Every structure is written in C-alpha cells, then in structure tokens.
Amino acid sequence: MRAIWKGSITFGLVNVPVKLYSATEEHDLELHQVHDADGGRIRYQRRCEVCGKKVEYAHIDKAYDDGEQTVVLTEEDMDSLPAEKSREIEVLEFVPNEQIDPILFERSYYLEPDSKSPKAYMLLRRVLEETERTAVVKLSLRQRTRLASMRVRDGVLTVQTMRWSDEVRAAEFESLDSDVTVGKREMELARSIVRELEADFEPEQYVDEYQEQLHKLVEAKLEQGESLDTAATFGEAEEGEGAEVIDLLEALQRSVEKKKGADGSGSAAKGESGSSTAKKAAKEEPAAKKSTTQKKPAAKKKPAAKKKSA
C-alpha cells in the first residue's frame, strides 16, 4: 500500500506521527463507452455553450448558479480562501463507541505509526480499547476539512471520515404516521424467523456475484471473440408486471413452515406434494407412452450395430 497522507495525531500534549492509507478498494471492473459500429472509443470534449469552442482545462473556472444568476469563482478567488493543508489529526473528544450512527460514515483509512518509537501510537490504541471509546477528530484531507472518527480495528488505529450532521436527511414519511397494530401472533412468528436466522456476521461469505459474472463474461469474450451469446450465458430475466400482495401473518407462517420442512419436520407437506406429483405423472402418462413408441425404431438399430462390430 502507498501512504496518501502524512501527519500526526494530537490529543492533549501528546503527538503521534502517523501515515494514512486507504483501507478499502473498489473491485468493480472499469468499463468505457465505444461506438457500436466500429468499436471506436467515445471521448468527451469540454465546449463552451456561448462560443461553441473547445476549452482547455487551464481556462476553466468554477461557478455557482442559484437558478437566476451565476457567480464565477476564479482561481484567484479560490486561492484567497483559508488554506486547508493542516498535517494534524486533532482529537476533539472521546465518545462511547455506540453513540456514532453508522449513517455518518464515509471512507475508511488505516493509520500506521511513523516514528522509530511507536510508544505514543501504542498508548493511544490501548487507551481506546480499554475505555471502549471512539475519538472524534478533525483533519484536512484533499484540500477539505473533514470530520472523522478514530477507533481500533484488528490492532490498528482506523480513521473513518464522516458526514456533517446537516448532510443527513431526515426520514419523514407520511406512511409511517398511520396507526398500524401488529398482532401478538405476528410478533411470535417474526421472532421465530429471527431466531432461525441468527448468526455471527462473517463478511467473507458474501460476494459480489454481478462483478464475478462480469469478469467471467469479459474473459470469455477475450478467448472466444465477440460471437459469445451473452443472453444464452446468463439467461434472460423477465420482470413480472407486479408482485402479489400477501397477508403479513400468512407470509410469516409460510416462512416458519418452510424452515421446518427444510429441517425434516414437514412430513404432511411432503405427503401432499408427493400426491400432487403422482397425479401430475398420471396425467402425463399417455404422452410418455407416445414418446416411447416414437423411439422404438431408433432402439432396433442398436442390436444391428453390435452384430456389425462383432
């Protein structure tokens, strides 16, 4: 990994030199646009709407449009703003771990000690672990002042940038204001389903199936050329016109019965399923006989083939 930022953590009179590394990476396959006729790469050009000329990036300024008028901010205007180039991660306060809502989190970074004696780093790591607290910090990253949390993950100090409070929208839905009564039986069934699916979270067992299939598709095209039939490879999914609305209690009951059936306790359901299968087979019996009769001429050829080989 390559460090993207160097600085120090400051809390009280303690200074902890650190390096910042991105803790995550994208696994999406990068695609670009091409002309379907000849495969030529599609390029975009910056053109002015007033004069129609192509504009070089060096001659492009920033602007804000409020809907009625536009305010242009030149490079000199941007340079006049206070520079946000601090090399410090300032600890503002230490809060209980559970008090930070995950909706605030953005990107994650690792902090590596950047000194020959990492004692101060170890001290901060240990005190966060023992007090079960998260440090709320402020740092300048990519020319912007950011709010972040700092905690310990797998023995490493980790920084997660956060949104400012006014960037989180309030969830105001009229549908939640209506009076809805949940029955006792419904709650019992819902709890039963939760108990059946209880587990410890292991992120490794979940994979991005879309990206896996996309990689396979690209690899197959590289080997076989453009003649690969993608529809035949992945199948054509058909979307229904609408989902059937099922009673909540009935859906919960079905979920419980389905789980019991999978565990071998749904014998009655299996019996009914077997009888219906038998009826279906009885109805299809004439068609099966017809199919057998049609295959008789092909079956007569087999003995002849054996005699010839002898």
Every domain of the chain and the residues it spans? 5-26+82-165
Phi, psi of 151 (to 5 degrees): -145, 180
Over the stretch 125-152, which tens digit does the pLDDT of each residue have? 999 999 999 999 999 887 788 899 999 9
Backbone angles phi and psi of 299, in degrees to 5: -70, -30
Give me the residue label for tokens 């400051």.
Answer: 10
Give the C-alpha separation, 182 to 186, whole Å.
7
**Residue 148 CA from chain centroid, whole number:** 21
Residue 294: its pLDDT value, please?
A: 42
For residue 306, what pLDDT band results from cuts at 50, 70 and 90?
very low
Q: In CATH terms, is domain 5-26+82-165 a member of 3.90.550.10?
A: no
pLDDT per residue over 209-224, tens digit each? 888 888 888 888 888 8
Phi first, then psi, for residue 156 (nearest 5°) are: -120, 140
**Is the predicted pLDDT of residue 103 greater than 50, yes or no?**
yes
